[in-house]
Amino acid sequence: MKSKGLTPKKFLGRCRESLIRKIKFHPEARKEIQHETRFYRQAGQRTGNRFIEATKKASEQLQDNPAMWPSMTERLRGNILSQFPFTIIYAFNEDTIFIVAFAHHRKEPGYWRDE
C-alpha cells in the first residue's frame, strides 16, 4: 500500500516555500523595471532575454539571502545587477523584500530618494 503522506521531497519543498520572502515593489521601481524590460527587448531578443534572466537571478538571490549585499543606508541595501548598469535598492524584514528602486548607474546618484 502506497503512503499518501508527505514525502521528504515535498516536505523540503514546502519548507523552502515557507522561508522565501515575498517581494513587493514601490510603484516607481515597478515602472522602472517595466520600462527597462521594454527597452532591452527592443534592443534585441537575446539582449531582452539576458536582461530578464539577470533580473530573475537577482530576485532569487535576494529571496535566498537578502543580507548578503552591502548596506547603503541604515535600512537600505543594494544588489548590483549582473551584466547591466542597475542596482536593485531594497529593504527587508522577516517576510518581505521591498524593492525601493531599480537605479540606473548613469542617472544622478540617489535620484530615487526624492521619488
Supply the pLDDT for residue 42.
95
Q: What's the average model confidence in pLDDT over 81-95?
A: 93
- Type and span of the H or E element at 87: strand 86-92
CATH classification code of 21-107: 3.30.2310.20
The answer to whether the Cα torsion of 33, 34, 36, 40 is positive or negative is: positive
Q: What is the pTM of this model?
A: 0.76
Structure confidence by residue, pLDDT tens digits, 5-49: 666 655 555 555 556 789 999 999 999 999 999 999 999 999 999
Supply the pLDDT for residue 13.
54
The three cell numbers of residue 51 are 536582461
SS3 category, 25:
strand
Question: Which residues sit opposite 103 in a β-bridge?
Answer: 87
Tell me the pLDDT band of 94, cut-offs 50, 70 and 90. Answer: confident
The residue extents of the domains of the chain are: 21-107
